[in-house]
Amino acid sequence: MEELIKVTKQDGIAEVALNRPEAFNAFNLEVISSLTKQLTRLATDHTVKGLVLTGKGKAFCAGGDLRWALQFSDTYASSFHTLASQFNCTVTEIRRMKKPIIAAINGAAAGGGFSLALACDFRVMEKSAVMRQAYTSSGLCIDGGGSFILPRIVGMARAMEIMAFDRPITAAQALDWGLATKVVEDGKAPEEAGNMLKELIKGSMHSFGWSKKLITDSFSNTFEFQIEMERDGLADCAEHPDGQEGLKAFAEKRKPQFRA
């Protein structure tokens, strides 16, 4: 049986690809469970410093497999409740992972695929690729953390527009609205995401992990709690070998050489 999630590793970077091209990488319970397991494994793989998340074929991810959901049980509520529960584990793993994750959007990112891309730290989008929230056109509401992340990227008014009208979002629009970090030629998204990661992992991954955690948690913390977290993180980073190397390099007026 073909692997539902393909993982390849090279030079400290793991490419994680949804592998249902015939279904535009729509995910059922088996697919999203497999993705969560792979992400969890890679989070503790010390040979991997960063991840590229993409899809095989012509799409990044068409979201939840509605055909599967309609056949899963006697009630629609049960099928979507089950699928959303596992999807929540996936996006939580992405947001809590201390390593950088870049979505290489090689085609449509719709529905759950839209939320999956938003959960990543950065998004590289090919020129012909399209984002679409898609949920409301099927009488559903957004999940996978999309309602939390989307307004924090584009603002409340733009998020409401995206929710209400469900118009396709081109790569140029996505870049203008801050949904895409970079737009590249078709077929180049995974390569460019890999190049971005190569640059990122030259820095301190310990520092990155703390910074990602602080930014993620900032939306639900009080100001006083947040600055206490910052103080804890700063002290921990200063004590870490990367922090010691960074401070020493600053004093010696040279570039730091962080741990591989």
For residues 132 and 61, is the Cβ–Cβ distance under 8 A? Answer: no
For residues 102 and 121, is the Cβ–Cβ distance under 8 A? Answer: yes
Q: Same fold for the domain at 5-200 and the one at 205-251?
A: no
pLDDT of residue 67: 86
- Tell me the three state secondary structure of residue 147: helix
The ranges assigned to domains in the chain are 5-200, 205-251
For 205-251, give the CATH class: mainly alpha
- Tell me the three state secondary structure of residue 54: strand
- For residue 72 the two structure tokens come to 């899963």
pLDDT of residue 1: 42
Spatial distance between the Cα atoms of 142 and 159, rounded to a whole number of angstroms: 11
Mean pLDDT by 10 residues, the chain (260 residues): 88 97 96 97 97 97 90 83 95 97 98 98 98 95 96 97 97 98 98 97 96 94 97 97 96 90
Question: In this structure, what is the dihedral angle of CA atoms 96, 102, 104, 109, given to the nearest 10 degrees?
Answer: 40
| 5-200 classified as CATH 3.90.226.10 | yes
